[in-house]
Amino acid sequence: MISKKKATVGAILLILITSISTFVASNMIQISVKEKVVITKNEYNELTRVYKKYSKNMLLEDIIKEYYLRDVDDEILLEGQLRGLFASMGDPYSVYMPKDEFKSFMEHTMGVFGGIGIYVGAGEDNLITVVSPIEGTPGERAGIKSGDKIIKVDGKEFTAEKMDEAVKLMKGEPGTDVTITIRRDSEGKSEILEKTITREEIRVKTIKASMLENDIGYIRITSFDEQTHKDFTANLKALQNKGMKGLVIDLRNNPGGLLDVSAKIADELMGEGTIVYTETKKKEREYLKSDKKKLGLPLVVLVNEGSASASEVVSGAIQDTKVGTIVGTKTFGKGIVQRIKELSDGSGFKITVSEYFTPNGRNIQGIGITPDIIVEIPEDVEVIGVENLEQDTQLLKAIEIIKDKIK
């Protein structure tokens, strides 16, 4: 049986539509209940459309409540419909988030959250793919690597369609454990690894800077959050005050972040010109441009397969404007932009609204950026950066290039 309340609503709508269909010949339609209500043909058509659109939802919801073996909460049913609405687009980056998930997501963009410390994305194989572990976090210490496929969390199987649910499960209170099952592909072989990791409070420090030999500055950017530009400019100025003659910017394993922040950092380096432009499906374009500020020193940007999104904005702008040299391996290839919106009840969503293009008009979605100079890291090298300079072939190449330019 169908609930009386919704059956009544459905009957009223049906009677209303049946009644007014008799009078559609005229431009104005009059319905008499207790008071006269006058609607136009357009309003009638809209009413009909709305009824046809939602009557099936109402029917199925009532059937679930009446016949399903377990009790179902109204709010959970609605949440499922909203999630499904976004999931139907087949875009893992467009998702609806209930209040607690949205709050967690926004904390993440601020740079503080509880979890294991990895960034993930949707792979072309529809599996949750590790873009990069965050330096100094439980995920990195457990040996999780860029390119690993997360196939289970606490024994539950996941694919990219439910990536946000998997991320929610991996996050949690510091001190608690979570078990991650990953598939690692190497040289045509697949290995299944299971890792139990203790969550920690992840405080993301997105900038690390130091002075290398021959007065070569080094700045590593691990992600682009709200504090990154401020920290970048402070460290850049400190290196310049120490007499820096060239600069290496390390974007390896940087999964991206806020587009406007990455544009601000590119602005500090490249001089006047276009940094990036975005284009919607309506072909509406928005340009982010830099002013006349320019680093004016030899510059090398390091990238790898873990460099994605906002990292590709910076490296693409540097490459196209020839302000510096891109060294490493091909980047991840995420060239689409999401908009984030909070709703009045604290829930929210992110939705892909545009794709971005480098200054020369390149869209790198699913393609990535090929470096000017390709340098591989030996397979037995697990640590990159200044901590393992002697084995970091990419960083050694960057230093070599800058030395030659200084001469």
Catalytic residues: 309, 320, 334
How many C-beta atoms lie closer than 10 Å to residue 253's C-beta?
28
Token pair in block for residue 225: 């959050």
Strands 200-203 and 207-212: unpaired
Cα(61)–Cα(395) distance, rounded to whole angstroms? 59
Contacts of 318 (CB under 8 A, 6+ apart): 266, 269, 270, 299, 301, 324, 326
How many C-beta atoms lie closer than 10 Å to residue 336's C-beta?
18
Under a CB-based contact definition with an 8 Å cutoff, are residues 81 and 57 in contact?
Answer: yes
Under a CB-based contact definition with an 8 Å cutoff, are residues 167 and 255 in contact?
Answer: no
| Residue among 179, 148, 184, 147 at smallest CA distance from 166 | 179
| Residue among 97, 75, 99 at smallest CA distance from 86 | 97
Encode burial over 256-285: b for 16+ CB neighbours within 10 A, e otherwise. Answer: bbbbebbbbbbbbbbeebbbbbbbeeeeee
Amino acid at 392: D
Cα(256)–Cα(251) distance, rounded to whole angstroms? 9
Burial (Cβ within 10 Å: 0-12, 13-18, ≥19) of residue 399: buried
